[in-house]
Chain A
Amino acid sequence: MPPLRGREGMTQRILEVKNVTKWFPITAGLLGRTSGYVKALDGVDLDVNKGETFGLVGESGSGKTTLGRCILRLYQPTSGEIAYRGQDITKLKGETFEKIRRKFGIVFQDPYASLDPRQTVKSALIEPMKYHKLVRNNEEAMSKAKELIKRVGLNEDHLYRFPHEFSGGQRQRIAVARALTTDPDIIILDEPTSFLDVSVQAQILNLLSDLQEELDLTYLFISHNLSVIEHMSNRVGVMYLGKIVEAAPKEIVYRKPEHPYTHALISALPIPDPALSRQRVVLAGDIPSPANIPHGCRFRTRCPYAKDACTESEPALETRQPGHLVSCHFDLKMPAPIPSLGTASR
């Protein structure tokens, strides 16, 4: 499979995240003095190319959602740079910012919480168009809303209904339609299917793939579900405690990972094949608190290969092969996380 869907060769960087941090202060006492920080993002670097799907995986508390929200500036990052087509957007204000923000869409995890229960689908779709002055009049807005609702597999009648009249899968379709109202370039999909049942999940994943092709969209796909990420992504970044520890094309991440965390994560996945026998790497202990990140390498407390060097300094995210970034002091030779992967035929 080519690294990019659709157009090959020309890669255009659409989003660049450089050393972004987001620290949430922990306040204590009557005076609300800051007693520490939850370092949700602690120096994240990644870039996303036009037309691709970049998958972001990690366990809860790894900072995936915070990163998605920082990119949209729903949270203001503490430091670092987020560039959209080369322009830093972290300090933009007012109208200049709104003009760029409409190029970003987002779909949230919980379609029961992300739609206003008192707003009809029509109004949920038209409001963003009017706010960003993308339509001249009501008729134009209405015809665009009709087009969008059909695009996501619903019909015009659905425009006049309220969210409670829809199933979870249909609501997520509406959320996708709403993300498309401002003609975005890039859509942040924050666990878009984790509330849905598997048969419905497949419908939404197919819809997202179709839309990407039809509208030339770029996706940042955030999920804890490794199988979904593998199915949807071109490249994958693995997050651990507020940092990307490995990023590469998905074939490398799933078949030949070089970071021990990625390796353990993939080997942890239950595979629906009873004939498969394998030795699973089980990590000891729990993910440490982001308020108290281990010094040195942040993964060393759970790493089966940790040595003294890992306590002393934090490894940088370095390019090992073109397009394959790893943050580990050692060049570990690990077996394939799932032995039959690549040879399995179904």
Chain B
Amino acid sequence: MSEAPLLQINHVKLDFHTYAGEVKALDGVTFNIKRGEALGLVGESGCGKSVTALSITGLLPENASVTSGEILFAGKNLLTIRNDEMRKIRAGQIAMVFQDPTTFLNPVLTIGEQLEEVFLLNPARLASAALENGQSKNKTKSSLSKSEQRKIAKLLSIDVLKQVRLGDQDRVLTQYPHELSGGMRQRCMIAMALARNPDLFIADEITTALDVTIQAQILELLRDLKREFHGSTLLITHDLGIVAELCDRVGVMYAGNIVELADVRELFANPLHPYTKGLMRAIPMLGRELDRLETIQGTVPDLINPPSGCRFHPRCPFVLEKCKSVKPELLDVGKGHTVACHLYGEEKA
């Protein structure tokens, strides 16, 4: 606990302006990511997990505005820095991979052109790689010729494709995205993210669009990379199974709030928030013989007019009078397990 966390998100509130009204998408999200850890964010669609990721990377759509809070990354508040600074951070320290690789690869450029660009934009990296390879007799950064730069970028690209376990790298570099399968494209996206050697790697539902057996390949890759890659990971998913496999800590989101955050083993062994409990009982799980699934009554609320107090209160089976008016804050109940629920407030105080 001595080291400051890599990323610290404090009370971020965010609205979307729409014709129907203000969508209050984030309602004071607070969490941090330590160096080297993998944090998972789970929740149903519309709970704000992707919006959280986009607000970290500064990629929010134009109709979004952050009304309060701060996002501290390596000492800088990402919400107030200039756009060109944010771009530099995205090109280096924070890398993000999205759900659908087809949308995020440029269809008219080869994988090689898209991947090599990452290195060409980073002359220092090229120069040090050149030195290692003994390619350049000259030792100054700027003295590499264009063709030398390309050659080194290509070598580095092949390396990073090997890292994501893509075979026949030379050929992949000359191919266009449409020539690759979904799994291969997603590997290329991961390669592009790793090529920057980021401090923070954000993976937003990266296996959702893939088939089960291909998803297994990517999960194994991520598990291997977790050992090799020393940065931090923010993994966003709706699948509790993926979280259980890959994350160190998990935050559960509901309607724009983190309702519970704990170590992965602690959370699965001892879920406290009524929503987390409900969610875990509502999913069919292999080997759990149940005649009926337990359900959470009602549906996810409309965030234009979110419920007052605790946003979960209209669906909560344990609702108290207090829940309808007072929003519960995240409260530490020990072992780093925090929960935002009035049921646990009293005993602590």
Contact = CB atoms under 8 A, between A and B. Distances in A.
Interface of A: 1, 59-60, 167, 169, 197-203, 205-206, 209, 224, 226-228, 230-232, 254, 264-276, 280, 282-283, 286-287, 302, 338, 340-342, 344, 346
Given A202-B295, A270-B241, A230 B215 contact: no
A282 B216 contact: yes
Contacts of A202: 282-283, 293-296
Contacts of B44: 197-199
Given A1-B289, A209-B292, A265 B213 contact: yes
Interface stretch (B124-132, B134-142, B242-250, B316-324): B242-250
Contacts of A59: 211-213
Given A231-B284, A282-B217, A275 B265 contact: yes
B287 A274 contact: no
Nearest to B242: A270
Interface string B83-107: 0000000000000000000000000
B331 interface: no
B184 to A, nearest CB: 8
B229 interface: no
Contacts of A276: 244
A167 B264 CA distance: 32
Interface string B245-279: 10000000000000000001100110000000011
B286 A226 contact: yes
Contact of B241 (A271, A275, A282, A283): A271
Contacts of B241: 269-272
Contacts of A224: 211-212
A324 B240 CA distance: 32
Interface of B: 44-45, 181-184, 211-217, 219-220, 238-245, 264-265, 268-269, 278-280, 282-296, 299-300
A197 B300 contact: yes
A200 B290 contact: no
B284 A199 contact: no
A340 B242 CA distance: 18
- 7 nearest CB pairs, A to B: A270-B241, A268-B216, A231-B284, A202-B282, A272-B240, A197-B44, A59-B211
Nearest to B296: A199
A319 to B, nearest CB: 26
Nearest to B247: A274
Given A231-B284, A265-B212, 10 more contacts: A60-B211, A198-B44, A201-B283, A202-B283, A209-B291, A226-B286, A227-B286, A228-B284, A231-B290, A287-B211
A209 to B, nearest CB: 7
Given A202-B294, A205-B293, A286-B181, A269 B287 contact: no
Contacts of A273: 244, 268
Contact of A269 (B212, B238, B283): B212
A344 B288 CA distance: 8
A200 B289 contact: no
Contacts of A199: 44, 278-279, 282, 295-296, 299-300
A287 B213 CA distance: 9
B285 A227 contact: yes
Given A198-B279, A224-B211, A283-B213, A270 B219 contact: yes
B337 to A, nearest CB: 14
B312 to A, nearest CB: 11
A271 B244 contact: yes
Contacts of A254: 286-287
Nearest to A278: B245
B264 A338 contact: no
A224 B264 CA distance: 26
5 contacts: A198-B44, A199-B44, A199-B296, A199-B300, A227-B285
B286 A269 contact: yes
Contacts of B213: 59, 264-265, 268, 282-283, 287, 302
B285 A346 contact: yes
A286 B286 contact: no
A208 to B, nearest CB: 11
A254 B212 CA distance: 15
Contacts of B183: 286
A274 B264 contact: yes
A272 B45 contact: no
A346 B213 CA distance: 27
B299 A167 contact: yes
A280 B215 CA distance: 12
Nearest to B297: A203
Nearest to B223: A280
A242 B336 CA distance: 50
Nearest to B209: A60
Contacts of B300: 197, 199
Contacts of B265: 274-275
B299 A227 contact: no
Contacts of B294: 202
A214 to B, nearest CB: 14
